[in-house]
Structure 1
Amino acid sequence: MTVPYEHLREDFKILQQHVNDEPLVYLDNAATTQKPEAVLKALETYYHTSNANVHRGVHTLAERATTQYEGAREKVRRFINAPSTAEVLFTRGTTTSLNWVARSLGDLIIEEGDEIVISFMEHHSNIIPWQQLAKRKGAKLKYIELTDDGKLDMDDAREKITEQTKIVSLVHVSNVLGVVNPIRELTDYVHDKGGVMVVDGAQAVPHMPVDVQALDADFYAFSGHKMMAPTGIGVLYGKRKWLEKMEPLEFGGEMIDFVELQDSTWKELPWKFEAGTPNIAGAIGLGAAIDYLENIGMREIMDHEQNLVAYLMPKLEEIEGLTLFGPKKASDRTGVIAFNIDGVHPHDVATAMDMEGVAVRAGHHCAQPLMNYLNQPATARASFYLYNTVADADKFVDALKATKEFFIHGLD
């Protein structure tokens, strides 16, 4: 379909405002995305018509809430092509999902001397849980190197992943470099060595088609708020063979089957892992966000972002003193562009661009090992999404040039 991207902005009231007397250009989508009216309306409708706890009641509102909540799970299953809703767990987000895997699966299969492999481009959420697991179990944590253009070094990956490697956990798309990693190729190699493949998909699922069966990963985690859903809702997909073996990490209502005085048994999947009252509204909002994305098409969204990157890169490369991080080729990345201006601190860059109405992020982006690897204390980062346009890209370039001019030459 031909998507009128210039009109999508009308679905997002928050984008129809001025910041510092300038029309808002929101380019902080890797941190969190804005919510369309359809998602906000779904939340409002739930609270106005169906607010009740799920699974426990037989009255009308409880049945409505349960139908909508479990309906959202089915939408997620279809969206990522999971084999069964039993393999789709609702969590608070990618961080929670990865912690669940590291704690439950990790404690199940990791022994002293085993290896866990990640990479230098990982988000802290895909580093710290594995650090803690390695400490608990006396395992060895290894890091895959990167190539000069910011891609995963596949030769080093094949060297680091050995028969002693029990778990490999890698980002599908880097939140700094924008690089898209060859997950299926890596998964095949990990499985050949007898290991388990875990994928941080927070920056992939909102921006491209994701088929967990095609990827064959054992676990795949992502967050709702990065794909126009509410905050506080996320997903962990896991293969049934592992989820059946793993123990839940939270205990209480909802996840139990029978409770006796000295012992208890758990419900079947997926509810075994979902203790307490879940984020019902968040799940319903996630379902509405999936409807919105599917109406556009994930392939179309990916192409739109890559077209924006292809349009931007030549303009950015012409700016003297601008350093870009990650692959230069649009087909190798998403709409995440990390950069620095020589002699200007990234926080100053972000502050100056905000005065132009352009929202970008500055800092280590929860990727301090990557910053150290790049020999950078921080970077600025612009991240594009489906509601961004060529006009936004032009405004970004203009604001960047104005920022550089101000800090280099001042007000002369």
Structure 2
Amino acid sequence: MNAKEIRELFPILNQQVNGHPLVYLDSAATSQKPVQVIEAIDRYYREYNSNVHRGVHTLGTLATDGYEGAREKVRGFINAKESAEIIFTRGTTTGVNFVAHGYARNFIKEGDEIVITQVEHHSNFIPWQQIAKQTGATLKFIPLAEDGTITVEAAEQTITPNTKLVALGYVSNVLGSINPVKEVAAIAHRHGAVIFVDAAQAAPHIKVDVQDIDCDFLAFSGHKMAGPTGIGVLYGKRKWLEKMEPVEFGGEMIDFVDLYDSTWKELPWKFEGGTPIIAGAIGLGAAIDFIESIGLDAIRAHEHKLVQYAMDQLSTIEGLTIYGPKERSGLVTFTMQEAHPHDIATVLDTEGIAVRAGHHCCQPLMKWLNVSSTARASFYVYNTEEDVDALVKGLIKTKEYFGNVFS
């Protein structure tokens, strides 16, 4: 299937916004959902809505099979050794916090080092900032290259024998840069540290292989990869998950409860207290089926071609600055002299074009870039060169409008 054929599978894209055909360029914030995912969730609620694991009736069995079947699909999708290493969460943010509070707070002490970068999304920044405050550990930052990328050499110089944890995004949600997580993982392990990888912007676009990376933990969200909101995944090596304490307590995650003490279920249910996100997991499983039917290599190739076309076209607009490296994932972040990013997004919206504007939950990176905010156009499998052309046309209109206002 080509992008135009794929686009037909996304009902929301077949509409007009402000009198114009919708051009959706905000998939880095959340992707749209194909009919396969919508129908899978609808089928669960219409045909076999029930709680999982606890019941022996038919609906409960069907729901459990759907939920645990989705876990196995995730395992295969990221090449984990076993499904017990797959924890369903509410999203990447929850996954980071599970590792921060279930692992780091118990194994990091005063004098230890936590290494991160200024490029990180706040979700992979603030938890480590807080753990450093609570434990007395030192928070260190891998210095950035001129284009905002992270080099293996810089990581080598920053990670030391005192480093106990490295947290790194696989793909930047602002710059689109693809970080050398496998090489950084090797450096971390050589110094006896564990590594957490934020794959929220990677899992929808490139092949993520946790065994090849050799990461200790990795998290991503369903809603950025054609799945529903409210569902995410935390992967962890069994040896670490078994040592971690649960963060949420209650039903479903217990083995035995006495008056003064309790014991926990085996992995992965030890970390899934309460009624789990059943419909979300089933929807995520359908999203994985959809992505694999296209192929991540094909998705990557399509986005690479599209983002290079976008950068070439945007570079023709005088006064427009693009941030980040030439080789990148499927997004372009920029500013334009004539207009504030929020004004850019507002004018583009009148043309039916959806982009993101603001600090993108990356205020330390905005400070490093010496800007308060930027505009961002992000692409996915359903975008075309015509979408890029519409963006360029809309930006020229924005430039002309604000140029006339302030001339």
1:78: Cα distance to partner? 0.5
> Which secondary structure does the structure 2 equivalent of 1:198 belong to?
strand
**Within-5 A mapping of 1:107-122:** 107-122=105-120
1:158 matched to which residue of 2?
156
Over the residues paired in the alignment, what is the CA RMSD in angstroms?
A: 1.1
Q: Which residue of 1 aligns with 2:348?
A: 353
Select 1:100's aligned residue among 77, 98, 101.
98
Matched letter for residue 88 of structure 1? I
- CA deviation profile, 1:369-404 (whole Å, cap 9, x unmatched): 000011100000000000001111111111111111
Partner of 2:18: 20
| Corresponding residue of 2:29 | 31
Corresponding position of 1:44: 42
The two structures have a TM-score, normalised by structure 2, of: 0.99
- Give a deviation string over 1:243-286, Cα, whole Å, max 9, x none: 01001011110001111111111100000000000010000000
SS of the residue 1:235 aligns to: strand
Shift in Å, 1:155: 2.8
Which of 398, 402, 405 in structure 2 is aligned with 1:403? Answer: 398
CA distance in 2, matches of 1:143, 1:44: 45
Q: Is this contact kept in 1: 2:197–2:217, CA < 8 A?
A: yes
Structure 1 position 71 matched with structure 2 position 66: no
- Preserved CA contact (<8 Å) 2:18 2:349: yes
Q: Which residue pairs with 2:297 in the alignment?
A: 299
Q: Cα distance 1:318–1:134, how it changes in 2: closer, same or farther (>3 A)? A: same
Which of residues 224, 232, 240 in structure 2 aligns to 1:242?
A: 240
Q: TM-score normalised to the size of structure 1?
A: 0.97
Map of 2:60 onto structure 1: 62
Q: Is the 8 A contact 2:311 2:332 kept in 1?
A: no
- In the TM superposition, what is the alpha-carbon distance from 1:343 to its structure 2 partner? 3.4
Q: How big is the shift at 1:149?
A: 1.4
Aligned to 1:215: 213
Q: Select 1:319's aligned residue among 308, 312, 317.
A: 317
- Please list the CA deviations of residues 192-235 of structure 1 after superposition, one character each: whole Å capped at 9, or x if unmatched: 01100100000000011111111100001000000111110000
Aligned length: 407
Taking the TM superposition and a 5 Å limit, the aligned residue runs for 1:125-164 are 125-164=123-162
Aligned equivalent of 1:268: 266
Paired with 1:256 and 1:411, the residues of 2 have a C-alpha distance of: 64
**Which consecutive unaligned segments of at least 5 residues does structure 2 have?**
none
1:48 maps to a residue whose letter is: R
SS at match of 1:344: coil
Secondary structure at the counterpart of residue 115 of structure 2? strand
Alignment correspondent of 1:182? 180
Question: In the alignment, what sits opposite 2:122?
Answer: 124
TM-aligned CA deviation for residue 153 of structure 1: 3.7
The amino acid of 1:341's aligned partner reads M
Give the distance between the partners of 1:386 and 1:366, measured in 2 at CA: 24
1:281-307, CA deviations, whole angstroms, 9 ceiling, x for partnerless residues? 000000000000000001100110000
Identity of aligned residues (%): 61
> What is the match of residue 383 of structure 1?
378
Distance 2:136 2:338 in 1: 43
